[in-house]
Structure 1
Amino acid sequence: MPRGRPAGVPPIGSYTAVGDSFTEGVGDPGPGGWIGWADRLAALLADRHAEHAPPGSFRYANLAVRGRLLDRIVAEQVPRAVELAPELVTFCAGGNDILRPSGDPDLLAERFEQAVAALRAVVPTVMVCTGFDTRGVPVLGLLRGKIATYNAHIRAVADRYDCPVLDLWSLRAMRDRRAWSEDRLHLSTEGHVRVALRAAQVLGLTPPADPDQPWPPQARPLRSQVRRDNIHWAREHLVPWIGRRLRGESSGDDVLPKRPELVPLELPGAVEA
């Protein structure tokens, strides 16, 4: 069973999300921008908090920005999260570093641990995230060993600092193509929903649905269609992504956090998982 908050602990009243595009919610569009699993988790936490506190008293901040590398997240977002001092922080970082040839999981883990130590000094609950299992995924499958090594480090850090772990590697629902957006780098809306449900489980909530429930049956695509889809993906997403890396650019160079302040949650009902 995943580690969560012990029975009898009061509901979480404030939450700050730290990370990159995964936590910003890229791939899960909403009326005013990206939604994502962190916003959806915040809605579930707010519902739970409202059972014991006045409506609207739950506070939420999301500092995540797409494309951010670990060092920049640690330099910009972690100090802000410490300053906000919420009851819960989710800290998911390092994935963009692992995608680079220079991304050493051992060195990344050292910097990751320093950030967790800083957060745990003031935040009662810091939930950390493992990376997804990329078995069978074009290109990213080649990085499976690096991701597994980094995951092992994250689990060790979690043990040392008593952090609950959002284990994305074991989330079987993510192995279905429908969990991913067209770019195959970010989750789809349904993928984000399932991550939010798993995160709620880890924190001791009873989510409204099983995050690993089977997907509806669908016809197996023809090989010719798979080839066409792969060519389209490479042209529209993979090549531009490689080009940005070669130019030293990031999709988040001019992007600011979508919820920089820890304020009462007022999000549309669509964020509910």
Structure 2
Amino acid sequence: MSGFGNGRDIISYVALGDSFTEGMNDPYAESTGTGQERYRGWADRLAEHLARTCGEVRYANLAVRGKLIREIVQRQVPRAVELAPDLVTLCAGGNDIIRPGGDPDATARIFEAAVRRLAATGSRIVVFTGMDTGFQPVMRHLRGKIATYNMHLRAVADEHGCDVVDLWSMRVLQDRRAWSGDRLHLSAEGHRRIALRVCELLDACPPADWRDPWPAEEPLPWRAARQDDLHWAREFLVPWIGRRLTGRSSGDGRTAKRPELERLEPARYRN
């Protein structure tokens, strides 16, 4: 397929998904004035880069943190079909897979139905595999389920002509600096590298290489590392487990941050 960095006049782009695509935890410098932090993330970064290299980019981000795949299919996919953009990115199913009893086979069937609907619009579709969690002790037991889901996603992508961003093979994300303090969401640098990877896939002239090695870093002393683990468990793990047990979601009551296709002004954004 042709690239998106070749001076096309107008590009429309819709991003679908959960917290990964909403952009947690990559905050904008400016406040929204609403009392809620506004996140940037790899999808905003991608759209901003396209706006600097194309004549005009219209962009909507319908992703909402915590959403399960059925919610994404029921609420976000129909809107994307209605908008019929040039480009759609879809990352969904991760919140289903990590829940107790999450079934990668059943989740993949729902994912395939979503892709089928999106493909009917003629949009270029980019999907994402799950990440390899082998380096994260708390998530390591999920590797098998994620790998199974990834095989399904690749089959769906092959059938419907989707591009695939293989997060599983991005070893650069296995550095702790790619992750925010909650160890569940990417850091700003992690999001930046994902955006560069998608730019590469789209042949959109990425401004840097996502493979660049991390600077050398001294490991944390054992005592400091254990204190960090205790802080993480108290501040993030326990509340996360509590939400799972009570059926609550971090996205309850939230709406999409960019619900309409709106033109981006490239001069506003930094790299």
The alpha-carbon distance between structure 1 residues 202 and 8, as it changes in their structure 2 partners (threshold 3 A), is closer
Q: Return the alpha-carbon distance in structure 2 between the equivalents of residues 129 and 35 of structure 1.
A: 18
The counterpart of 1:48, out of the listed 32, 47, 53, is 53
User: Once the 2 structures are TM-superposed, how far is the Cα of residue 124 of structure 1 from its aligned partner?
Assistant: 2.5
Q: Give a deviation string over 1:118-162, Cα, whole Å, max 9, x none.
A: 000003201001111111202111101111111111111111111
What is the 5 A alignment of 1:67-216? 67-216=66-215
State the Cα distance separating 1:79 from its structure 2 match: 0.3
Deviates more, 1:22-31 or 1:40-49: 40-49
Matched, 1:15 2:13: yes
- Deviation for aligned residue 1:226: 1.4
Whole-Å separation in 1 of the counterparts to 2:92 and 2:70: 9
RMSD: 1.7
Contact 1:88–1:123 (8 Å) recurs in 2: no
Residues in 2 aligned to 1:227 and 1:98: alpha-carbon distance in whole angstroms: 28
**TM-score for the superposition, normalised by structure 2:** 0.93
CA contact (8 A) 1:82 1:123 kept: no
Q: Deviations over 1:235-260 (max 9, x none)?
A: 11000000011111001001100000
Residue 268 of structure 1 and its aligned partner are, at CA, apart by: 7.0
Structure 1 residues not aligned, in runs of 5+: 51-56
Q: Tell me the TM-score normalized by structure 1.
A: 0.92
Distance (whole Å) between structure 2 residues aligned to residue 43 and residue 78 of structure 1: 22
Deviation at 1:221, TM superposition (A): 1.3
Correspondence for 2:35: none
Q: Within 2, Cα distance between the matches of 1:167 and 1:128?
A: 9
Matched, 1:261 2:266: no
Instruction: Give aligned pairs, total.
Output: 263
Query: Which residue matches 2:26?
Result: 28
For 1:24, the aligned partner's letter is: E
The CA distance in 2 between the partners of 1:108 and 1:232, in whole Å, is 33
Alignment of 1:5 onto 2:13: no
Mean Cα deviation higher: 7-16 or 256-265: 7-16
Instruction: Show CA shifts across 1:192-229 (max 9, x none).
Output: 00000001101112211110110010101112111111
CA distance in 2, matches of 1:120, 1:252: 27
> Kindly, what percent of the aligned residue pairs are identical?
58
Query: Aligned partners of 1:114 and 1:7: how far apart in 2?
Result: 26
What SS does the aligned partner of 1:144 have? helix
Q: Give distance in 1, aligned partners of 2:4 and 2:209.
A: 21
Paired residue secondary structure (1:72): helix
Tell me, in whole angstroms, the C-alpha distance in 1 between the residues paired with 2:268 and 2:66.
28
Cα distance, 1:101 vs. partner? 1.4
Distance in 1 between residues matched to 2:247 and 2:76, nearest whole Å: 21
Shift of 1:9: 7.4
Higher mean C-alpha deviation, range 98-107 or range 76-85: 98-107
Distance 1:123 1:62, change over 3 A: farther
Q: Cα gap change, 1:19/1:8 in structure 2, threshold over 3 Å: closer, same or farther?
A: closer
Amino acid at match of 1:114: A
Q: Secondary structure at the match of 2:54?
A: helix
| Unpaired segments ≥5 residues, structure 2 | 33-37
